[in-house]
A and B are shown apart, each in its own frame.
Chain A
Amino acid sequence: MRALWGLAGVVGALTCSMVAAAGIKDGEKRSGFDFMTRETQALQADDMANPGMLWVLQGEQLWHQAEGKAEIACAGCHGEASQTMRGVAARYPAYDEATGRPTDLVGRINSCRAARQEAEPLAPESDALLALTTYVAHQSRGMPIPPATDARLAPFRDNGRRLFQSRIGQLDLSCASCHHTNWGKRLGGSVIPQAHPNGYPLYRLEWQGVGSLQRRLRNCMVGVRAEPFAFGAPELVELELYLMEQAQGLPIETPAVRP
């Protein structure tokens, strides 16, 4: 459970005793940002202070760096990220023709490495992979997550919803037990947010670094004493798809900051 409580400060009383048992109602949708202390919010809002911006800068360098046997940089195919990558993070995970499955941004970056750059994949949670993902996602900052349109993704999203609602682990809790039925209340010292993915990758003070959405999902699984899915597992991507649907309309905030 240690992973769950972290260092979240005591946040002023949140008035949300009325919670929806079956998901989050549109009028009640709130970014994880809204559940933080003023101090942590200020850290996220100021680019000069937000430690996640260091990963954005590193990602920008990597974007322009030739890699692999093809000796080509991301910029070699995609040019200016501020134009070509704008809005991309808001519509991922997306359907991948090659595998017939959804892939998230991290998966896309590694498949571009393999197929276009002819380079080794970057390890999950490595600084380079996090930096590139953060840089790409940052290009969508402020853009709202659009409604889902690709019908091919529906069965995968349904699977994600099922996972979200399944009780797991020795504690026998589902994601929904906390994030649907009890958001706004406190688990130990931490306020339970609505589990929106719109700030990832983000800088977490407890991690002293940037981490991916999958790292967060795995932490919550460990918290209920379940065996977490491996990084890149189809189930985690399916959960991400469902989370993006729930978060529809919220703006991308990458890099967010969390306690």
Chain B
Amino acid sequence: MACLALTGLLLAASPGAGEEVGSYVVTGDAIMEPLVGGKGDPARGDALISDRQRSLCTLCHSGPFPDAHLHGTLAPDLTGVGARLSEGQIRLRVVDMKRLAPNTIMPSYYRVADEEGRRVATVWRSKPILTGADIEDIVAYLTTLKG
């Protein structure tokens, strides 16, 4: 019975390149628990989403963010994403979209991808793109986008 209860509950293991920074538990298509500490700060998440140097989100995604003419068209619009997806589902998608769509172009934000041949530039080596706290802020903000 215990086995059944654990079905769909996998300990994070990288399907492709690199290693995760912190450990987390994937349940179905979601990560239920925050990566670090408690809830993120939606106001910080709001600012971070539009930061084209740091989070890069709007290079690919459009949504209810400033400077619409600079939003990319490579990815789904994030308007209403908080109504379509649960908090845990959003968290897994930002942490490691490749787990759900192995060939996706969306970077895995909470992964270190610097093994042989990847040529990760020195300044970015051994670091995930965003920290756990950054991701929690973004998740907290995206869950507020109800439509």
Contacts and interface: CB of A to CB of B under 8 A. Distances in A.
A189 B18 CA distance: 30
Nearest to A174: B105
A32 to B, nearest CB: 18
A222 B121 CA distance: 8
A172 B60 contact: no
Nearest to B17: A172
Contact of A1 (B59, B74, B105): B59
B130 to A, nearest CB: 11
B78 to A, nearest CB: 15
Contact of B74 (A166, A168, A182, A189): A182
A181 B56 CA distance: 19
Interface string A146-167: 0000000000000000000011
Given A170-B124, A172-B17, A188 B118 contact: no
B23 interface: no
- Chain A binding surface SS class: loop
Interface residues on A, range: 20 to 34
Contacts of B7: none
A170 B125 CA distance: 8
Contacts of A116: none
Interface string B72-84: 1110000000000
Contacts of A181: 105
Contacts of B56: 1, 171
Nearest to B127: A170
A191 to B, nearest CB: 9
Interface of B is mostly: loop
A101 interface: no
A186 B73 contact: yes
B89 interface: no
A5 B69 contact: no
A69 B99 CA distance: 62
B74 A186 contact: yes
A185 B74 CA distance: 6
Given A177-B105, A225-B124, A172 B118 contact: yes
Interface of A: 1-2, 4-5, 10, 166-173, 177-178, 181-182, 185-189, 221-222, 225-227
Interface of B: 17-18, 52-53, 56, 58-60, 69-74, 105, 107-108, 113-114, 117-122, 124, 127, 129
